[in-house]
Amino acid sequence: MENGKKVLVGVTGGIAAYKAPGVIRRLREAGYEIEAMATEAAFHFIPEETLAIAAGDRVHTDKTWWEQSGRVEHVTLARWADLVLIAPATADAMARVAIGLGDDLLSATVLAGAKKVLWAPAMNPEMWSNPATKRNVETLRSWDHSFVGPAEGAMASAEEEPGVGRLAEEAEIVAAAKKMLSDSSR
């Protein structure tokens, strides 16, 4: 890859998962080497094949985590990535990491020493403003994790009132990733 930087894109189980291939495509166009990882819940919203095509390779999942490959996948991925970008990041994914649960590949990878972590939250406004979510975000920030978004606007469900919780726009997520990757002090 042109710039030599490696980004591991983690996709979690929210409706905004359908936007992940666009983020991956933009990162690849910017010259980053990409690997994709997804939680099992992500596949309720986007096919694994779609993520694999966008990333140009297979998707790392809880199933691949337990393959007998002779490597410890969560440690290997954490060491490989210059940046772990979780987009979309659900309240569940942030909570799992914030309380130290490492029982899925995504949370285990982040906890296994990821160099830089960027969360792009997406959830309904009530979940985003919930005290538990706020506490988890503050915990992650105290670990030098960064955030992009969420944005304000119409939500995916027609039943939801507009509010803060939308996934940030692709360009904003990619700009935040580029900034983190060019910042040598972090």
Long-range pairs, 142-145, Cβ under 8 A, ≥24: 143/117, 144/116, 144/186, 145/117, 145/118, 145/119
Burial label for 130, CB within 10 Å (0-12, 13-18, 19+), is middle
Map residue 157 onto helix, strand or coil. Answer: coil
Tell me whether strands 117-121 and 146-147 are parallel, antiparallel or unpaired.
Answer: parallel
Q: What is the pLDDT of residue 65?
A: 67
Domains of the chain, first to last: 6-153 (3.40.50.1950)
Q: What is the pLDDT of residue 75?
A: 81
Q: How is residue 162 written in tokens?
A: 């507009």
- Looking at the DSSP bridge assignments, the partners of residue 153 are 163
Q: What is the pLDDT of residue 185?
A: 45
Q: What is the pLDDT of residue 88?
A: 97
Q: What is the pLDDT of residue 103?
A: 86
Per-residue pLDDT tens digits of the chain, which is 186 residues long: 447 899 999 999 999 999 999 999 999 999 999 999 999 999 999 999 999 999 998 898 877 766 666 667 788 899 889 999 999 999 999 999 999 998 898 999 999 989 999 999 999 888 899 999 999 999 999 999 999 989 777 666 655 666 677 889 999 999 999 999 987 544
